[in-house]
Amino acid sequence: MRKKWQEIPLHVMLLPGVLLTLIFSYIPIAGIAIAFQKFQPAKGIFHSKWVGWDNFQYMLDMPNFASVLWNTVFIAVMKIVAGLVIPIVVALLLNEVAGAWFKRTVQTIIYFPHFLSWVILGGIMIDVLSPANGIVNQFLGLFGIEPIFFLGNENWFPFTLVATDTWKHFGYSTIIYLAALTGIDQHLYEAATVDGAGRWKQTLYVTLPGLLPIITLMTVLSLGNVLNAGFEQVFNLYSPMVYSTGDIIDTLVYRIGMVESQYGVATAVGLFKSVISFGLIVLSNRLASRYAGYRVF
């Protein structure tokens, strides 16, 4: 219908973003070369020794790499699932609240924890989750449950990470769904009411389908985090007692770096993570467009 020249404004709009991205993202991406070097800061990128796939080999040869990889994926996937489900549920629950004051207050309060860093929260968590006198275990004690050493027990530790992470971020993530809820056409609810649908049915047949695009979007994007289990959180909460289930790729790389700044290995690990994340996102985008009929990108 429209002609070629009608595209021109669209290209013009994209131009500044493309230029800046080219300069500040693509030029540094060339530095991925470091992954194939025995990088020495004193020699720089241009004079460091090339070592081919050695850094990747080093990564795979580490005695506990397989278990660390598993920990990372296990924790990250649980975080992704909880991080998707809980905010949606909370957004729906908030949507059912009639009182504007209550709704606003709750919304505002659950957004707070996002702003407390893990360094500060680390100290609070040790108290709250203490098996001796932590409030959580005192509460569980009411039901006759034996005290659980959430931060020191290797079986519980991954779940502790997921729970505290979800707690910290669910309020913040809820905002996206609240914004999406405003986009649902009010006429659809009226029509549903006329058809005799109750609130439950309205939620099921109007609200959820209305949220589907954003849910799909968030799901696809979150898959990019499947190898990010949250360095700052784990670093502030873990200890030798829970290394076996709590050590993740990022903490491992950090400790290797403590011995000697190994930029080659760190970059190789980063590249490994990027490639896998990218593959998953591309794949899930395809699947979403085939099965949910919704293309994210």
Partner 1 sequence: MGIKRKSKAAAALGMAGLLVLAACGSNNDNQENGNASPSAGSSPSASASQPPADPAAKYDPPIDVTAWRYTESSYKYENGDTIENNVYTKAYASDLGINLKYQWTVPVEQFEQKLNVSIAAGDLPDIMWLTNKQLTDLADNDLLYDLTDLYEQYATPLTKSILQQDQKAFDTAKIDGRLMAIPKTASAVDGLPVLHVRTDWLEKLGLPEPKTMQDVLNIAEAFVTKDPDGNNKADTIGLGLTKSFLTDNHFGTSGFFSGFHAYPQKWVKDESGGLVYGSIQPGVKAGLQMLQDMYKKGLLDKEFGVKDRAKVTESVASGKLGMFYGGMSAPGSVIQDNVTNDPNAEWKSFQIVSADEVKATPIGKVPVQLYYAVSKKSKHPEAIMKLLNFSMEGFAPDAPANSPFGISPTGVPVYLYNLIGPEPAMKNLNAHHNIVQALSSNDPSKLSSEEKGYYDRIVKFNGGDRKEWGQARIFGTPSTFDVIDQYVKDDNYILDAFYGGSTPTMVEKLASLQKMEEEVFTKIIMGQSLDTFDKFVADWKKLGGDDITQEVNEWAKKQ
Partner 2 sequence: MQKLTAGRKTFLITNYVVLTIAALLCILPLINVLAISFSSKSAAAAGFVKLWPVDFTLSSYKYALSKHEFLDGFVVSLKRVALGYAVNMLLTILTAYPLSKERSSLRSRHYYAWFFIVTMLFNGGLIPTYMTIKEAGLLDSIWSLVLPGAVPVFNVILLMNFFRELPKEIEEAAFMDGAGHWRVLWRIYCPLSLPAIATITLFTLVAHWNSWFDGLIYMNSTSNYPLQSYLQTIIVTSDLNAVASNDLLVTEVSDRTFKAAQVFLAALPVLVVYPFLQKFFMKGLVMGSVKG
Is 159:151 a contact under the CB 8 Å cutoff? no
38 pairs with which residues across the strands?
Answer: 49
Footprint on residues 238-267 left by partner 1 (CB under 8 A): 239-241, 243-244, 247, 252, 255-256, 258-263
Nearest-approach distance from CB 183 to partner 2, in angstroms? 6
107 binds, among partner 2, partner 1, none (CB under 5 to 8 A by kind): partner 2
Phi/psi region, residue 44 (left: phi>0; alpha: psi -120 to 50; beta: rest), is left
Footprint on residues 83-122 left by partner 1 (CB under 8 A): 122
Provide the mask over 162-201, with x wherever binding to partner 2 is found by CB under 8 A and - wherever it is not: -----x---x---xx-xxxxxx-xxx--x-------xx--
Is 209:148 a contact under the CB 8 Å cutoff? no
Footprint on residues 34-93 left by partner 2 (CB under 8 A): 34, 39, 41, 45, 90, 93
Place of tokens 């896998």: 276
Select 178 or 241, whichever has its Cβ closest to partner 2: 178
Q: Is 210 in the site for partner 1 (CB under 8 A)?
A: no
Q: Is 44 in the site for partner 1 (CB under 8 A)?
A: yes
Nearest-approach distance from CB 20 to partner 1, in angstroms? 7
241 binds, among partner 1, partner 2, none (CB under 5 to 8 A by kind): partner 1
- Integer Cα distance of 117 and 114 in angstroms: 8
Query: Which tokens belong to 281?
Result: 């996102």
Closest CA to 88 of 222, 224, 218: 218
Q: Is 11 in the site for partner 2 (CB under 8 A)?
A: yes
214 binds, among partner 1, partner 2, none (CB under 5 to 8 A by kind): partner 2
Select 226 or 234, whichever has its Cβ closest to partner 1: 234
93 binds, among partner 1, partner 2, none (CB under 5 to 8 A by kind): partner 2
Select 6 or 133, whichever has its Cβ closest to partner 1: 133
Nearest-approach distance from CB 83 to partner 2, in angstroms? 14
Is 264:38 a contact under the CB 8 Å cutoff? yes
Nearest-approach distance from CB 239 to partner 2, in angstroms? 15
Report the residue from 213, 231, 243, 244 that binds partner 2 according to the rule CB under 8 A. 213
Select 66 or 109, whichever has its Cβ closest to partner 2: 109
Number of residues lying near partner 1 (CB under 8 A)? 42
Q: Is 7 in the site for partner 2 (CB under 8 A)?
A: yes
Q: Give me the residues that bind partner 1 (CB under 8 A), please.
A: 16, 19-20, 23, 39-47, 58, 62-64, 122-123, 126, 130-132, 149, 151-152, 237, 239-241, 243-244, 247, 252, 255-256, 258-263
